[in-house]
Structure 1
């Protein structure tokens, strides 16, 4: 398959200038504290993640969501109330939930304990409880909506694929217009939490093989998780067979071989994704390193189609079809392109 058509040089220069301006703005902008105590209560303790505790985890987190919803109504937090009302719809199952601050949540779609493959969707900047599955017009661009789009796509590929999908907002995602997106500090914390989660996933289902689908700044989280080295979750990390980086600003790794080990490392970027114009540097801890779709990085490049930064899991798209093949561990079903 031929490579995607490159952006005209003049348009590319303009887009790169705008991206640099946005980057500089991110350094200058600060977020003022409110000075008020968080009205939401800390989540209750939950049992260690294991096959025998899944039911108890789901029930405990549902009660925590109900309690947070009552708080949202009491303080008039309508956006949070709408989000939490959706979380309580029948058939939804959360492995963890924390309403404090901008919030964290981890949802599972499918049979986690019985799956042969588990896809873990790691979202990027600006992901909060309010945007977990509530962006109007593009539900697939959210962790919850994207997980369901991926699960539905897998169900159309033939016999039951034995796939479970996890929407993993297990870290404090940075804001796009903040200095946090220029370093890997949030990614480092998130990577540590992701490795811990993979350890729990391994206890739930030791035989499952894992695909990490890492969007935008989420690829920094996956990169830091891969680079962290051997630790308590080392055995669990070896169950990761595929790492997909899409809409990525970089991973802090200089080459795909540093990330993969025995895993296949994939990268893709839609032809309309503004991430193309973000500078790929890493100097004195600033920047996130090489572009994962660059030939010298060494990833397998999958066809991400013509979509933008929020369109990778859009139903009917080439990107969704290929990410589903990666999630299922079926490289022969992934359309690859030659790096530009």
Structure 2
């Protein structure tokens, strides 16, 4: 039985690599919707935070107008919503698939800050899912907290060769480390936690294993296909490492392994919720892959507990 499972995993991984070789990268041929370069903000501080928000809203307004003239109505509508006076973007780039960092709460005075790192298929057009989760988490956390929805990298497609390797995650890691450093430059006393969903867990792990690590209190992996390391200890971080998975999450059926095939490492290794990985397990309820931040869910409650520095309900799996 073990041999069959091993062969199945190797076959699935081989199919993924073959796809990477055979399927052309069609995205490069797609026309790019025009957008302005990001606003020049410099090092943002607590004093300049309001100005940074205003500059990014102005950039979103300009990007919306350019998208409208181009005929990209869906993108234009999304950008106009982002340009609303009520929105707070610490970073904004309307080019390509888009990169943003939206803040919920008062970042300058928060005692607890949670950074949501999303997984595959997250872009300006699909950003509503990430934003909805951030709003739900901030509502659950309560006062003197802030939540940041960090879309700071080009996420892979769920059905794409890129989602099988650490390439996008490794490219994103320096940006995430720099972003966390910037948060602490705005609010040095805040307790920062990274909440990493799906492929986002690979991004967080790659950032944590860098030369300077990540100065965060907690790293929580949920709905994770693996992290790219075999054990939590391999992350070389002082942060508490957490892992949870909903009973209805299809990611449980993904082969939690890695293999060197045709010179490419495919897959992300040990299942983070397994005892062998060594993370602190938290209960994530019965939800599916997109339900972890659903209001009223066990997973949302436990993720909020982690951010607050409390002990979450342990999993009984």
TM-score by length of 1: 0.84
Q: How does 1:70-149 map to 2 (within 5 A)?
A: 70-133=65-128, 142-149=129-136
* Distance of aligned partners of 1:281 and 1:148 in 2 relative to their CA distance in 1, 3 Å threshold: same
Assess if the C-alpha contact under 8 Å between 1:117 and 1:164 holds in 2. yes
1:3 is matched with which residue?
Answer: none
Instruction: Name 1:305's counterpart in structure 2.
Output: 285
Q: CA shift at 1:264, angstroms?
A: 1.1
1:276-295 correspondence to structure 2 within 5 Å: 276-284=252-260, 285-295=265-275
The 10-residue stretch of structure 1 (213-222 or 73-82) with the greater mean CA deviation from structure 2: 73-82
The CA RMSD measured in Å over matched residues stands at 2.2
User: 2-side partners of 1:248 and 1:181: how far apart?
Assistant: 12
**How far is 1:26 from its partner?**
5.5
CA distance in 1, matches of 2:247, 2:18: 25
3-state secondary structure, aligned to 1:248: coil
Equivalent of 2:182 in 200, 203, 222: 200
The aligned residue for residue 138 of structure 1 is none
What residue is the counterpart of 1:257 in the other structure? Answer: 233
| TM-superposed deviation, 1:172 | 0.8
State the 1:34 CA deviation: 2.7
Secondary structure of the structure 1 residue equivalent to 2:226:
coil
SS at match of 2:259: coil
Once residues 171 and 270 of structure 1 are traced to their aligned partners in structure 2, the CA distance between those partners, rounded to angstroms, is 25
- After superposition, the C-alpha distances for 1:40-77 in whole angstroms (9 at most, x for unaligned) are 22223222122222122111101100001101211121
CA 1:38 to 1:74, structure 2 compared with 1: closer, same or farther past 3 Å? closer
Change (3 A) 1:30 1:320: farther
Q: Which runs of 5 or more structure 1 residues have no equivalent in the other structure?
A: 1-8, 134-141
Q: For CA contacts below 8 A with separation 6 or more, give which structure has more relative contact order.
A: 1
Aligned length: 304
Alpha-carbon spacing, 1:282–1:152, altered in 2? closer, same or farther (3 Å): same
Per-residue deviation, residues 223-272 of structure 1 (Å, max 9, x unmatched): 00110122xxx5xx33x111110000111111112226321111011111
Who is 2:51 aligned against?
56
Q: Residues 58 and 83 of structure 2 are in contact (CA less than 8 Å); yes or no, is this contact kept in structure 1? A: no
Write the distance in 1 (CA, Å) between the matches of 2:30 and 2:78.
24
- In the alignment, what sits opposite 2:41? 46
Range moving further from structure 2, 52-61 or 118-127: 52-61
Contact kept in structure 2, 1:98 and 1:104, CA below 8 Å:
yes
The 5-angstrom pairing of residues 236-275 of structure 1 reads 237-238=214-215, 240-259=216-235, 261-275=237-251
Q: What SS does the corresponding residue of 2:51 show, helix, strand or coil?
A: helix
* Distance of 1:46 and 1:107 partners within structure 2: 15
**Cα distance between partner residues in 2 of 1:197 and 1:178:** 27
List gaps (5 residues or longer) in structure 2: none
